[in-house]
Structure 1
C-alpha cells in the first residue's frame, strides 16, 4: 500500500500540469491501472515534437487518434498523413458499448463519444481537397529526389531553375519543365552555353525520360495551380474547434518517395510562411506523419540536413511534428533527440535483432524504480504504452506505463458515401477543385521561339531579296555597253573605216 501511495505521488508530481492539457490515461503499477495516477500532457509543450512507436496491431493509430481529436477539441488544428487509410473515422462519433465503459471505469474517466471537424485532402484523383505545388516551390533538390536524378543531372536541373529565375520564366507544372529542358539543348543552346556552360543533350534527355515516367505514375497531379496555401491548415469551426486535415495516401503508398518528398516540401513551406510565436500557451498546428520511416529511407544527405534544420527551428513557429513508426530506431538519432513526447507501445522480441532493438529503445527512456523498461516493452497489452513527456517547465516527466483512454471518435474508416458527404460540403474542396493554366515558362518560351523563328524568316527573306537584287543589277550592267565600245562597234563607224582603207589601196 505504501508503494502504491508513493507511486501515485510520483506520477502526480511529474504530470501536475497547471495549464491546459490532454488526459491520456492512468499509469499502471504491477500491470494494473492506478486511477489516481493520471497521465496528462501539457498543451504548451506539444510543439516540442514527438514519437508514437510500436509493433503492428499494438494501438499506434488509436493513440494518434486520441491526440488529434483532443487537440481539435481545444482549438488546435492538425494534419494527419493517412497512409493506411484508417483515420477517416475521426469524422464520426464512436459507438458506446460496455467494453469501452468498463475500460474507462478502470481509469476513472467519463467517456463521451463525439466527432471532430474533418477536411479530407488528396494528392491524387481521390475525393478531397487537391494538394498541389508549383515546380518552383518544390525546387531543384526535392524535385531531383522524386526523379531519381544523378548528381550531374541534379546540377543541370539547378542551372535550369537559375535560368528561369534570371529570365522571369515561371515554372508551374511539368509541362513548363519539359519545355525549358528541350530549349536548353535546342533553340537556346548558344544562349545557355554563353551564360552557364555546355549542357549535355544526353543528360537533359535522361531527365525528360524520368519526368515522363513520373507523369505515368500520376505524379503530374502534384504540380500546378492553384497552389495549396498552408494557412488553410489552421482553420477553425465557428465553435472554435480546430480542423483535422486528413491527407489520404492509401492509393499511392507504393510510391513512398513521391509523398515523402511532398511532405518535406510542405514542412519547408509551413516553416517559411508561419510567423514566430515563441513559447506560446498553445501550439499553432500539429502534424502527424504515419509510417515515418518512409521519409527517412534513402534520403540524401542534403535532404536529411534540411529536415533536421526544420525540426529544430519550426517549434518556435508553434508547429509540432509527430512521427508514427514501428520502432524508434527508424528515426535518425539526430532527429530522435529533438522529440519531447515519446509514446511507446509494445515491441516484439522474436529474433536477436528484435532484442537488440528493444535494448536500444529502453535506453531512450528515463530510468524508473517502478519499471524494468526492457521487460515492460514486451509485456504491454493493446492500448497500453510507455509515456515520457515534458512538463510545463520543459523537464522530462517520470516514465509511466499507461492504460490509454479510447478515442471518442469512430475506430474504423468512413464509408464511401460518408466521404463524399464530407468533401461535397467542403468549401476548401471547392476552392482547390479547378485547374489554373496561366502564362508560364511553356507559353513564354513558345512565344520566344516563335518570335525568333519569325525574325529568322524575315532575315532570310531580306537576304534572298538582296541576293536577287545584286544578280539583277549585274545582268543589267552586262547588257549596257561602254560608250567608246558602242561607237567603235557601230555600223557607221565601220563603214567609215572601210571607206578610208579602200581609198588607201587605190
Structure 2
C-alpha cells in the first residue's frame, strides 16, 4: 500500500498543470491500474509534437482516436491521415460495451459516448472534399526536392518559374509545367536563351521523366485548382467543438511519393499562412500522420532536410505534429529528437533485431524507479502504453505505464449510407469539388506556338505564292515572245542577215 501511495503521489506530482489538459488514462504499477492516478497532457505543450508507436494490434489507432476526440472537445481542430480507413466512426457515438465500462472503472474516469464533427477529405477520386494545390504554390525549391533532381536541374526549374512569373503564365498543374519545359528547348529556346541563358534539352528531358514518375503515382489529381485553403482546417462547429478532418488515404498506401508530396506541401502552406501564435496556451491545429514511415520511405536527403526544418519551425505557428508508426526507428533521428510527447505501445521481441530495437527504444525514455522500461515494453497489453510528455515548463513528465481510456466515438468505420450522408452534408464540397481548368501556361503557350506556326505558314505560303508568280511571269513573257508574228519576223535569221548586210554597206 505504501508503494502504491508513493507511486500515486509520484504520478500526480508530474501531472499538476495550471492550464487545461487532456486525460489519456490511469497509471499502472506492477501490471495493475492505480485508480485516479490520471495521466494528463497539458494543452500548452501539444505543439511540441509527438510519437505514437507500437507493434501491430497494440491499440495505436484507438490512442490516436482518443487524442482527436479530446482535442475536438476542447475546441481544437484536428487533421488525421487515415491510411487504413478505420477512423470515420468518429462521426458516430460509441455503442458502448461491458469491457469499456470495466476499463473505465479501473481508470476511475466516467465513460460518455459521444460523436464529433467530422469532415472527410480526399487526395484522389474517392468521395470527400478534394485536396489540391497548384504548382506555383509549391515553388521551385519544394518542387525540386520532391522530384529529387540535381543542382543543375533545380536551377533550370527556378528559371522556368521565373520565366512564367515574368510572362504572367500561371503554373497550375503538371500539364502546365511539362508544357513550359518542352517550350524551353523547343519553339521558345531562342526566347529563353536571350534573357535566361541556354537550357539543355538533356536536363529538361531528365526533369520530365521525374514529373512522369510523379504523375504515375497520381499527382496529376493533386496538382490543380481549386487550391485548398488551410484556414478550412480550423473550423469550429456550433457547439464549440473543433472539426476532425479525416483524409482518406486507403488507395495511396503504395504511392509514398504522392503522400510525401501532399504532406510536405500541406505543412509548407500551413507554415506560410498561419500567423505566429506566441504563448497562447493551446495549439491552433494538431495533425496526426498514421503510417508515418510512408513520408520517409524513399525520401531523398534534401526532402528529409526540408521535413526536419518544417517540424522545427511549424510549432511556432501553434501546430502540433504527431507521427504514428510501428517502430520509433521508422522516424529519422533528426525528427525524433523534436518530439516532446511519446506514447509507446508494446513491442514484440521475436528476433535479435527486435530485441536490439527494444533496447534502443527504452533508452529514449526517462529513467524511473518504478519501471524496467525494457521489460515493460514487451509486457504491455492492448490499449496500454508507456507515456511521457512535457509539462508546462518543458520538463518531461514522470514515465507512466498507462491504461488508456476508450474512445467515446465508434471504434469502427461508418456504413456506406452513413458516409454518403456525412459527405452530402459537407459545407466544403461545393467549394472545392468543382473542377476548374482556367487558362494557364499550357493553353497560353499552346496558343503562342499555334500563332507562331500559323504566321510561319502564312510567310511560307506568301513566299511560295511570290515564287509561283515570278515563274508565271517569266513563262508569260517567253510565251508572248514566241507567239507575236511581228517579233517573230524581226528576229528571224533572214531579216537579221539583211540588216547586217545593209549596215556593212553603209559602213563602207
The question of a shared fold, defined as TM-score above 0.5 by the shorter chain, is answered with yes
Q: Provide the C-alpha distance between the structure 1 equivalents of 2:497 and 2:57, rounded to a whole number of angstroms.
A: 124
Q: Deviations over 1:27-69 (max 9, x none)?
A: 1111111113111111111111111111111111000000001
The match for 1:381 is 381
The match for 1:111 is 111
Q: Provide the C-alpha distance between the structure 2 equivalents of 1:174 and 1:500, rounded to a whole number of angstroms.
A: 86
By how many angstroms is 1:418 displaced?
Answer: 1.3
1:145–1:261 CA contact under 8 A, matched in 2 = no
The match for 1:451 is 451
By how many angstroms is 1:457 displaced?
Answer: 3.8
Q: Provide the C-alpha distance between the structure 2 equivalents of 1:376 and 1:190, rounded to a whole number of angstroms.
A: 69
Q: Provide the C-alpha distance between the structure 2 equivalents of 1:258 and 1:155, rounded to a whole number of angstroms.
A: 23
By how many angstroms is 1:467 displaced?
Answer: 6.2
The match for 1:44 is 44
Q: Provide the C-alpha distance between the structure 2 equivalents of 1:499 and 1:126, rounded to a whole number of angstroms.
A: 105
Query: Superposed, which structure 2 residues align to 1:32-431 within 5 Å?
Result: 32-144=32-144, 149=149, 153-212=153-212, 214-431=214-431
Q: Provide the C-alpha distance between the structure 2 equivalents of 1:178 and 1:273, rounded to a whole number of angstroms.
A: 28
Q: Provide the C-alpha distance between the structure 2 equivalents of 1:257 and 1:303, rounded to a whole number of angstroms.
A: 11
Structure 2 length normalisation: TM-score? 0.90
Local SS of the residue matching 2:56: coil
2:54–2:326 CA contact under 8 A, matched in 1 = yes
Q: Provide the C-alpha distance between the structure 2 equivalents of 1:496 and 1:376, rounded to a whole number of angstroms.
A: 132
1:279–1:316 CA contact under 8 A, matched in 2 = no
Structure 1 length normalisation: TM-score? 0.90
The match for 1:484 is none
By how many angstroms is 1:326 displaced?
Answer: 1.0
Q: Provide the C-alpha distance between the structure 2 equivalents of 1:249 and 1:503, rounded to a whole number of angstroms.
A: 112
Q: Provide the C-alpha distance between the structure 2 equivalents of 1:217 and 1:500, rounded to a whole number of angstroms.
A: 96
Please tell me the root mean square deviation across aligned C-alpha atoms, in Å.
2.9
By how many angstroms is 1:96 displaced?
Answer: 1.3
Q: Provide the C-alpha distance between the structure 2 equivalents of 1:108 and 1:83, rounded to a whole number of angstroms.
A: 33
By how many angstroms is 1:175 displaced?
Answer: 1.7
By how many angstroms is 1:143 displaced?
Answer: 3.9
By how many angstroms is 1:204 displaced?
Answer: 3.3
By how many angstroms is 1:357 displaced?
Answer: 1.1
Q: Provide the C-alpha distance between the structure 2 equivalents of 1:347 and 1:203, rounded to a whole number of angstroms.
A: 47
Q: Provide the C-alpha distance between the structure 2 equivalents of 1:376 and 1:501, rounded to a whole number of angstroms.
A: 135
Q: Provide the C-alpha distance between the structure 2 equivalents of 1:504 and 1:123, rounded to a whole number of angstroms.
A: 105
1:176–1:440 CA contact under 8 A, matched in 2 = yes
Local SS of the residue matching 1:306: helix
By how many angstroms is 1:395 displaced?
Answer: 1.6
Q: Provide the C-alpha distance between the structure 2 equivalents of 1:502 and 1:358, rounded to a whole number of angstroms.
A: 130
Local SS of the residue matching 1:80: strand
Local SS of the residue matching 1:192: helix
Q: Provide the C-alpha distance between the structure 2 equivalents of 1:504 and 1:310, rounded to a whole number of angstroms.
A: 108
Local SS of the residue matching 1:401: strand
1:80–1:245 CA contact under 8 A, matched in 2 = yes
Answering whether residue 8 of structure 2 is matched by residue 14 of structure 1, we say no
Q: Provide the C-alpha distance between the structure 2 equivalents of 1:495 and 1:347, rounded to a whole number of angstroms.
A: 125
Q: Provide the C-alpha distance between the structure 2 equivalents of 1:501 and 1:373, rounded to a whole number of angstroms.
A: 134
More displaced, 86-95 or 298-307?
298-307
| Residues 430/504 of structure 1: CA separation in 2 closer, same or farther (3 Å cut) | closer
By how many angstroms is 1:146 displaced?
Answer: 5.3
By how many angstroms is 1:445 displaced?
Answer: 0.5
Query: Superposed, which structure 2 residues align to 1:479-498 within 5 Å?
Result: none
Q: Deviations over 1:333-368 (max 9, x none)?
A: 221111111111111111111111111111111111
Q: Provide the C-alpha distance between the structure 1 equivalents of 2:506 and 2:399, rounded to a whole number of angstroms.
A: 146
More displaced, 432-441 or 293-302?
293-302
Give the count of matched residue pairs: 498
Q: What runs of 5+ residues in structure 1 fail to find an aligned partner?
A: 481-487
By how many angstroms is 1:475 displaced?
Answer: 9.5
By how many angstroms is 1:330 displaced?
Answer: 1.5
Local SS of the residue matching 2:288: strand
Q: Provide the C-alpha distance between the structure 2 equivalents of 1:336 and 1:218, rounded to a whole number of angstroms.
A: 29
1:230–1:270 CA contact under 8 A, matched in 2 = yes
